[in-house]
Amino acid sequence: MKLLRNIFVSCAGVWALMIWAGCATDSELVQADRAYEGSTNQPPDTGEIIRTQEALTIEMYDTGPGVQKLEQTVADDGTLTLPLIPERVPAAGKKVGELQNAIHDLYVPRYYKRMTVSIKRENRFYFVRGQVKNPSQRSYTGDITLTRAIAAAGDFTEYADRKNIRIIRSNGVKEKVNWLNIIKNPKKYDVLIYPGDTIHVPLSVWGSMPGGS
């Protein structure tokens, strides 16, 4: 009789702990969802902003015979070094069009009567890590949402915690997304992924989510 009572007490304790853990998790998700709902749904960096350590190909036309082609990597201080320009040129934080105009104005009319500047961005990637079938660095080729990024990584493993997907933006902003919310309201929760972002799908404590995808 005493043994049965001890087993009952132990089972009751485990059951209570599971309920408490579940409530705590739900509470955290509610808070995260509320925080997300209060956000602008668009992080400061929308993928248009040039960053440090980004590789650029800069082509200069209409300056004379041939095309001047430069391959530059934006330095840690956010600048580039250009021919004939004695000072370092700020690049990080600008959009491509803004940097093209800035380079044009540095050369025209100081060195050339006219010039056309074209900039191509080379190494643009995002990352998918954790409980997906093919965690990897992936090329950013244009607008891509969270669901498309997960699909491109081979979809979730059976051990994925789909309620607590983390997105770490390139500017350090962190977001938490519940996959069930995406299913219910994709327009609101299927957020855009940008170059430099990292998606992390954690391991689920309880194993795979029944029937969820």
CATH no. for 124-213: 3.10.560.10
Nearest-angstrom CA–CA distance, 83 and 208: 57
34 pLDDT tier (thresholds 50, 70, 90):
very low
Contacts of 48 (CB under 8 A, 6+ apart): 95, 96
Contact residues for 95 (Cβ-Cβ < 8 A; gap 6+): 48, 49, 50
pLDDT of residue 179: 96
Q: What span, in angstroms and rounded, lies between the C-alpha atoms of 69 and 59? A: 4
Same CATH fold assignment for domains 55-121 and 124-213:
no
| DSSP per-residue codes, the chain | -HHHHHHHHHHHHHHHHHHHHHHHHHHHHHHHHHHHHTS-SS-S--S-B--TT-EEEEEEESSSSS-EEEEEE--TTSEE--TT--SPEE-TT-BHHHHHHHHHHHHTTTT-S--EEEEEE---EEEEEESBSS-EEEE--S-EEHHHHHHHTT-B-TTB-GGGEEEE-TTS-EEEE-HHHHHH-HHHHS-EE-TT-EEEEPBPTT-SPTT--
pLDDT given at position 1: 52
Q: Domain map of the chain by residue range?
A: 1-38, 55-121, 124-213
Query: What digits encode the pLDDT tens for the residues 39-53?
Result: 434 444 556 788 887
Query: pTM here?
Result: 0.55
- pLDDT at residue 2 tops 80: no
Could you tell me if 191 and 167 are in contact, meaning their C-beta atoms sit under 8 angstroms apart?
Answer: yes
Q: Indicate if the pLDDT at residue 181 is higher than 90.
A: yes
Mean pLDDT across 84-107? 94
* 128-156 pLDDT per residue, tens: 999 999 999 998 877 899 999 999 999 99
Which pLDDT does position 51 carry in this prediction? 80
Span of 93-97, 114-118, 157-161, 168-172 with lowest mean pLDDT? 168-172
Tell me, what's the pLDDT at 47? 62
The band of 213, judged by pLDDT with boundaries at 50, 70 and 90, is: very low
Ramachandran angles phi, psi of 93, nearest 5°: 95, -10
**What per-residue confidence (pLDDT) applies to 9?**
44
Tokens 């050369």 belong to residue: 107
pLDDT recorded at residue 5: 52
**Residue 127 in this model has a pLDDT that exceeds 70:** yes
CATH of domain 55-121: 3.30.1950.10
**3 vs 146, more confident:** 146
Average pLDDT of the chain, as a whole number = 79
Q: Hey, what are 152's tokens?
A: 């491109």
Q: What pLDDT is recorded for position 15?
A: 40
Distance from C-alpha of 26 to C-alpha of 14, rounded to nearest angstrom: 18
